[in-house]
Chains A and B, each alone.
Chain A
Amino acid sequence: MAEKILMKGNEAIGEAAIIAGCRHYFGYPITPQTELTEYMSKRMSNIGGVFVQAESEVAAINMVYGAAGAGARAMTSSSSPGISLKQEGISYIAGAELPCVIVNIMRGGPGLGSIQPSQCDYFQATKGGGHGDYRNIVLAPNSVQELADITVQSFELADKYRNPVMLLGDGALGQMMEPVDLTMIKTKSIVAKPWAATGLRGRKDSNIINSLHLKPEDLEKHNIHLQEKYKEISSKEVRYEAINTEDAELIMIAYGITSRIARSAMDMARNKGIKVGLLRPITLWPFPELVISKLASRAQAFLTVELSAGQMVEDVRLAVNGAKPVYFYGRMGGMMPNPKEIYGQIVNIMFGKGGL
């Protein structure tokens, strides 16, 4: 039977990770995700899991590298400035093809920025972030329930592709309380990891966890292999939600918390008979570019709404490829748009100077 409990977003991630079989968490406190670190410290000791408060984000992600390479389902979490520090390790994890889950509950930047919600790490999350040609799978939930569901999916995707998965939320999602049903979460069984470095334990050949390939031809081969993997992920793992896009003249594109505000704006517009739809990418990488390019053949215009100066809008423009105008509306620094503001943008595009 469904059993809803009221939970904070950050805590729902923690509990879902435990349901997913994560027994190794390494983190360092930073607002607005600290509740997750605290939650793991409490729960891991109850269930015989491992919680280590690392001395820095750099150490935390490298502990994840060790634990993931040793075969465990491992997780770390942080917020924007901390994720910047983790980029070195994330690049090594991608290079060594280790599965792990990295939670980024974004706050305003650049620099120390603020502790308020933001989506200004989109570029960093989806374009690699650290050095080298690599991709993280990036998932962007928009409710506490989805934070939990997607946490579990993140572990499964990570194992399936031996790739880091980033759960990209923002301060609002991390801090908000909503009813969540954790009994509905189904996990697939933990997959075998014959590549893991566990100690030989009777195995004849040693397993090496490594991202170094000194010979250019070897490194190119490894990179080609990675790119083929990314292509496979792009073709199989795109996730999105489309609302009212069938007849929409204007399609809004927004993810995470912003998609909920955009949805209210869409409802306001629909009530006035304005044909507005909403496309919500759930995977930010792979990005639903084919879906958008198909929509571009019918819709008249697009409006991307973000808590940034305009980052995802670049991917939307690439997907639309000049076929239709793409407008952008964003707030920064922890400022949240209200539905009315977005509705104003819609009216402006449809009837005002923006013009369809």
Chain B
Amino acid sequence: MSQKLFTRPQTLKDMATHYCPGCHHGIIHRLVAEVIDELGVRDKAIGVASVGCSVLAYEYFTIDMFQAAHGRAPAVATGIKRVHSDATVFTYQGDGDLAAIGCGEIVHAAARGEKITTIFVNNAIYGMTGGQMAPTTLVNQVTTTSPYGRNLENSGMPIRISEMLSTIDGAKFIARVAVNNPANMSKAKQAIKRAFEIQLRGEGFTMVEILSTCPTNWGKSPVEAATWLEENLIPYYPLGIFKAPEEVVK
């Protein structure tokens, strides 16, 4: 007898996405959808898509969704959660969105201990607008607005958002993961699931930062991009759980 081992999550629509080949946004969407399915919260899940390459995320998930202004997703999610306290509310934000224009909103959502989950996709560049420097762009990394490489004197050091938010009391679960290989993918999914579970328990703000590729704007093939992520992003942005309730860390 045959058994179906692998199917499309119910929370994900059966359609092709607009993401470039080798981009990790698609994998991350899938992991979020699988977690929503597995936790059985699809009926009460509300997502907030942000401005960036994932601006169309509301096209891909089969749940109620909002599209928020650039950087404002955590504020929008706050409004939603304060109306539907029983809903599972998440934002899906890029690093330009969250670490630059939306830095205030994310810090204060965390400070309020807002019971939402943020999926923070860090590809160290502005993807959608064509590869400009982000607050997370590495030193010496070439982008269209740092054509000679990010220069410390002019632009300072890249921000480590997970470390920063971990210092905020209202943040209850903060982890950094990657989806560059199956082992990391499985850790990433576990982290996303824990973040949602902690939200469901009403404990406070949760965020999973996911290191991601942008082959198109990094000017690399999908394979080269995955290697570059391993060799450059992970050393500066160490993977791991930065903050969690004790029983979750174990």
- Give A residues with C-beta under 8 Å from B: 24, 26, 50, 52, 54-56, 58-60, 62-72, 74, 88-89, 92, 96, 197-202, 206-212
Contact = CB atoms under 8 A, between A and B. Distances in A.
Given A52-B82, A197-B65, A63 B75 contact: yes
A197 B84 CA distance: 10
B243 interface: no
Interface in B35-76: 42-46, 48, 55-56, 58, 61-69, 72, 75-76
Given A55-B105, A206-B64, A208-B58, A199 B69 contact: no
B55 A212 contact: yes
B76 A55 contact: no
A309 B66 CA distance: 40
B87 A63 contact: no
A59 B108 contact: yes
Contacts of A208: 58, 64-67
Contacts of B105: 55, 58-59, 62
A59 B65 contact: no
B82 A210 contact: no
Contacts of B112: 52
Contacts of B80: 66-67, 69-70, 197
Contact of A62 (B46, B55, B68): B68
A72 B65 contact: no
Given A62-B105, A66-B75, A206 B61 contact: yes
Nearest to A73: B83
Interface in B193-250: none
Contacts of B75: 54, 58-60, 62-63, 65-66
B77 interface: yes
A24 B82 CA distance: 8
A64 B77 CA distance: 10
B119 to A, nearest CB: 17
B63 A59 contact: no
A184 B78 CA distance: 34
Given A74-B79, A201-B43, A58 B72 contact: yes
B28 to A, nearest CB: 19
Given A59-B105, A63-B76, A199 B66 contact: no
B104 interface: yes
Main DSSP-derived SS at the A contact region: mixed
Nearest to B114: A52
A211 B66 CA distance: 9
Q: Tell me which of B42, B65, B82, B87 has the highest count of chain A C-beta atoms within 10 A of its own C-beta.
A: B82
Contacts of A211: 67
Contact of B79 (A56, A64, A206): A64
Contacts of B104: 55-56, 58-59
Interface in B74-108: 75-84, 87-88, 104-105, 107-108
A24 B83 contact: yes
A212 B66 CA distance: 11
Contacts of A54: 75, 108
16 contacts: A26-B79, A62-B68, A62-B76, A65-B72, A66-B77, A66-B81, A67-B79, A67-B82, A197-B46, A199-B44, A200-B42, A201-B44, A206-B63, A206-B64, A208-B58, A208-B64
A215 to B, nearest CB: 12
Contact of B58 (A52, A55, A210): A210
Contacts of A212: 55-56, 67
B126 to A, nearest CB: 17
A58 B78 CA distance: 13
Q: Tell me which of B63, B65, B79 has the highest count of chain A C-beta atoms within 10 A of its own C-beta.
A: B79
B79 A70 contact: yes
Given A26-B79, A66-B75, A206-B65, 15 more contacts: A24-B79, A24-B82, A62-B72, A62-B76, A62-B79, A63-B78, A65-B79, A67-B79, A67-B83, A69-B79, A197-B46, A198-B84, A200-B42, A200-B44, A210-B66
